[in-house]
Amino acid sequence: MAMGDPGRRVLGLDVGLRRVGVAISDPLGLTAQGLDTLERTNLRQDLARLSALAKQHGVELIIVGHPLHLSGKQGRQAELIQQFASKLAERSGLPVQLWDERLTTLVANQVLRESGLSRQKRARAVDRLSAVLILQSYLDSQSSGGLRGPQRWLDGC
């Protein structure tokens, strides 16, 4: 099924040590909406819960934020996320794609800080918003043929 076909849903994840931010696309694959953040327990249960969530929503692809250094190089956290993504693909039977998430958490924190939320409420919302930003970035890249924002418009002139 090609991107944009009715019924195609994509799950976006911001995987952390304590929580997993979760977002899902609309059926057309145009917009990302946040779902409840999952508190991590252990790997087996985390994978089972995420697999069940994907099945419940009719997901066909899972996007996992890949925490690269600003230089683009991988660190230890990126390696751990790769292992997690591989195990999630195995457990869910779905394709799992890593997606560059550089600066996503920083942007999410800034947006939430500017919204006036208390520090406690921001802490609970940042993982969810990060997942939305990761998934929306992926969806935007698919709908623009790999280009983002004004670049696509300029190329069409």
Buried (b) or exposed (e) across 116-139, using 16+ Cβ within 10 A? Answer: eeeeeebeebbbbbbbbbbbbbbb
The count of residues in the chain is 157
- Stretch 134-141: mean pLDDT: 92
Judged by average pLDDT, the poorest of 12-26, 32-46, 77-91, 98-112 is 98-112
Please say if the pLDDT value at position 149 is more than 70.
no
Quote the pLDDT of residue 37.
Answer: 94
How many angstroms separate the CA atoms of 118 and 133, rounded?
A: 21
- Please report, rounded to a whole number, the percentage of residues in the chain having pLDDT higher than 70: 86
Please say if the pLDDT value at position 4 is more than 80.
no
**What is the three-state SS of the chain?**
CCCCCCCCEEEEEEECCCEEEEEEECCCCCCEEEEEEEECCCHHHHHHHHHHHHHHCCEEEEEEEECCCCCCCCCHHHHHHHHHHHHHHHHHCCCEEEEECCCHHHHHHHHHHHCCCCHHHHHHHHHHHHHHHHHHHHHHHHHCCCCCCHHHHHHCC
pLDDT digits (tens, 9 = 90+) for 71-109: 778 888 899 999 999 999 999 999 999 998 877 777 777
Does residue 152 or residue 138 have the better pLDDT?
138
**Is it true that domain 9-155 has CATH number 3.30.420.140?**
yes
Quote the pLDDT of residue 144.
Answer: 67
Does residue 12 or residue 128 have the better pLDDT?
12
Domain ranges of the chain: 9-155
∠ CA 78-149-68, rounded to 5°: 10
Measure CA 21 to chain center. Answer: 8
Please say if the pLDDT value at position 7 is more than 90.
no
- Please report, rounded to a whole number, the percentage of residues in the chain having pLDDT higher than 90: 54
Does residue 122 or residue 62 have the better pLDDT?
62
* pTM recorded for the entire structure: 0.81
